Amino acid sequence: MVLTRKQKAVLDFIQQFILTHGYPPTIREIAEGLNLGLNSIYSIQRHLKVLEDKGFIRRNSRKPRGIELLHFKLSNAAMIPLVGKVSAGFPIPAIEEVEGNVVFDALLIKDTSNTIALRVKGDSMVGAGIYDRDIVVVRRWGS
């Protein structure tokens, strides 16, 4: 399928955003990232609709970050499920609620089948360089 220059720019931005952040951008982030401003949100929505119709993405309208790339492959890429939140302070169980996936280089992770990502809640680990809303990657082990 042939994409226009603007459609390709939107698709490239989404791919790069996911690689950088580990989750898809919102429509507003796409508009800002492409320096189109907030007046172009409708234009971005139209480009996303075309990308979806052409089979490049799938969208979940109930989620603000509901864009999924359908044909995006990386060599050595591993998709790690982002399964919830973990408190940075007291040792309480993680709240498991699948939010999406985080893309990592598979060479960095020994066992991707037992690896999950969690979003940190709280700021008690700032001294270790782990901040509120950071994503940590951990290996699952016994219950």
Fold for the domain defined by 5-69: Arc Repressor Mutant, subunit A (1.10.10)
Q: What is the pLDDT of residues 63-119, one digit of tens each?
A: 889 999 887 666 667 778 888 777 776 555 555 667 777 777 777 778 878 888 888
Q: Can you give the pLDDT at residue 143?
A: 55
- Amino acid identity of 46? R
Q: Can you give the pLDDT at residue 47?
A: 94
All structural domains of the chain with their residue ranges: 5-69, 77-139
User: In terms of pTM, does the model score above 0.85?
Assistant: no
Query: Distance between the two ends of the chain, CA-based, in angstroms?
Result: 47
Name the maximum alpha-carbon separation found in the chain: 52
